[in-house]
Structure 1
């Protein structure tokens, strides 16, 4: 920054725009557009897979496609954040709440409840992980008590998956101490007075989501997904690749992870 400007943001930007001269070289824009097209193609391929175990991308995409134009969406912190950001297209009129530092686990359900209270009449949705939801699971009873029109999708892989992949990519360490005690979230929702659904197979995704979205009152949709599905960054530095190769030698589920990487090699090549 060369100079600080003080003023109304809209007016200041308008005045700045009037002084800008269009660039003749469009190479940067064209390269960015091409990268975006490749990225969207890769995301669409992941969203359409019919693999068993169920791929999380498939169910998150179908969940987002059903959200109405006035929806409020909240996510937790972890791989569920990436899934929501990558596979739900937020449209005009919708709002998306997420932790500002992307590091506050267990925020998804409270954010959704707050959205329902602050904006009565608007439907509320959440995409969370099983680790974060387990930390604040009792608050689902608050959503039931106040009749929040909440549809909550929990990505269940019985794993703190974001931490597991950080251990491997950032540190080169085998995944350890990230396993979670399995919870029946659908049954727990019903025990609190809400409604619960569970989906484990791709062919059941649409039917389960249709039933859940038609139900009145707070709903938990438990999606039991592939615990070994890689969720890698758009850019894969050489250091991360080296660390992963080292870590995978001793990581539980090595064969399954390597098979998933072989199925979608572009996940380690985006630049």
Structure 2
């Protein structure tokens, strides 16, 4: 059997350690599918039901493993469908390779069926972006694409026309001045940015040692540096704020943890931002600047892997370039221990009060079911090394505040893109990557409905993922955003009755249960987690439960009131829920 060019592509992927490709076939990639078929012993193909999900899965694979994620789609509409998931990778700085097809080179430019020049479409998206015109370009351009994705922490794109895919692997139809075939170089896994410069470490130590009220803001770039973050926090007596993508940097019950900032943050976290005199940003480029200290009021030290992102959000006295783990380890000997722990103790007490307030909202006695209670049941029942994936929306608020990082738990969601629908495909990819771990997708009804066909993917691949649907029969986050802007809600609630997604789960041959009564929630969650296979619990929760910010600003309160006065159609139910929330907290 004659080797074809697509086999060279697959062989180079395998040489780089790629063992899984997520995708959906089409006539624009039949040659690549044949290459995969000939190498099933080296690279597994995971068939999905929508290309967007394939891109989310590739992104999730990269987030969870640190290794490049790969997705595959056909020409035209298939490649277009990848875009949302690939932008998730781009904005969260994850190495992903997208492989797409294209019409035969002889018909390009003629308006042929499904002729979409995906390289042009991907121009804003991809760090490496190439249409392969000649089999002789392989395997060298595969190496370049993967190396670029790793080095620039982003998306690479290779587009192979149909005739190139099936051409003989050694074909070279053109005359060349340069050598015809770029050599295949041994895969080189580029190291982390490494150690900051000694002079930057010394400058950082001077600023941090001089601070009296130091705060640490840790992000996803510090997920691998838990021990170092805790050690620095201890020496500096510094409370640690965590961004949402960095939620698993340190345990939530740590005496240094004060939760997050922003709309999904905690009151102690927000207070600390206004109270600190020195901010140490570790592995984060937190974009919501209105939740950061006022420029000029604090001194800032930052350790950042990418030089282009250092000092972007705030005036920064010491922008260090390097890896969080290595940088913190080198910084520690230069720091002086702060014996006055008053600053730290103040926020420990504040977090004790906050945790008690959050626990009070997890009441099983509230009807309709409180989403905080649902998340609390998942939190208590899940394993200490469970992986939770989450969609964007109000569910991210409940997960941020009621999913407790302890042991080796992990937490993943779409960070900077904040798109709907990745929770389910993320869970599928992570269950593939970690078959022995408990993987739970905590999703809303709106996000689940977008890519619900992927639950069938999980069932067909016999993946024991668990899906918990926070079903408020609405686009809950948009509802509350409209109110904060002073607008009565419009177009954000689905028609009654609420969907029953458990029926879909059962039709897929999986465990499915619908829950409407508070007394059934805990049992249903535990049964789903114990089920030997994919399971889904669809829980009807209170649609009028507000995802209140940790600290409500004056302008937000005014806008909220204006929405009520201007005819908020559900103001009575919302007011009742707010009253019950406050009673729960006062009655603890």
Q: TM-score, normalised by structure 1?
A: 0.92
1:86 corresponds to: 401
SS of residue paired to 1:239 = helix
Aligned to 1:261: 578
Q: For structure 1, which runs of at least 5 residues remain unmatched after alignment?
A: none
Q: Distance in 2 between matches of 1:212 and 1:161?
A: 25
Q: Which residue of 2 aligns with 1:252?
A: 569
RMSD: 2.0
What's the offset of the Cα at 1:92? Answer: 1.9
Alignment-derived partner of residue 486 in structure 2: 172
Secondary structure of 1:223's aligned partner: strand
Deviation at 1:164, TM superposition (A): 0.5
Q: CA deviation at 1:2?
A: 2.5
Partner Cα distance (1:88, 1:12) in 2? 29
Q: Residue 54 of structure 1 aligns with which residue?
A: 369
- Specify which of 554, 577, 583 is matched with residue 238 of structure 1: 554
| Equivalent residue, structure 2, for 1:163 | 478
* Normalised TM-score (structure 2): 0.44
Q: In structure 2, what is the Cα distance between the partners aligned to 1:43 and 1:141?
A: 35
CA distance in 1: counterparts of 2:509 and 2:364, whole angstroms: 34
Counterpart residue number, 1:106: 421
**Of 213, 227, 232, the match for 2:543:** 227
1:184 is matched with which residue?
A: 500
Greater CA radius of gyration, 1 or 2? 2
Counterpart residue number, 1:211: 527
Distance 1:79 1:40 in 2: 19
Deviation at 1:27, TM superposition (A): 3.8
The 2-side partners of 1:163 and 1:8 are apart by 37
**SS of the residue 1:243 aligns to:** helix
Structure 2 CA distance for aligned equivalents of residues 85 and 6 of structure 1: 29
Check conservation: 2:364, 2:519, Cα contact below 8 A. no
**Counterparts of 1:184-203 in structure 2 under 5 Å?**
184-203=500-519
Matches within 5 A, 1:115-154: 115-154=430-469
Higher share in helix: 1
How much has 1:257 moved relative to structure 2? 0.7
Cα distance change, pair 49–215 in 1 and its aligned pair in 2 (3 A): closer
Q: Residue by residue, what CA displacement relative to the aligned partner does 1:41-95 show, whole Å, maximum 9, x if unpaired?
A: 1111001241111111112111121111232210111111111121111222222
Which segments of 5 or more consecutive residues in structure 2 lack a partner in the other structure? 1-315
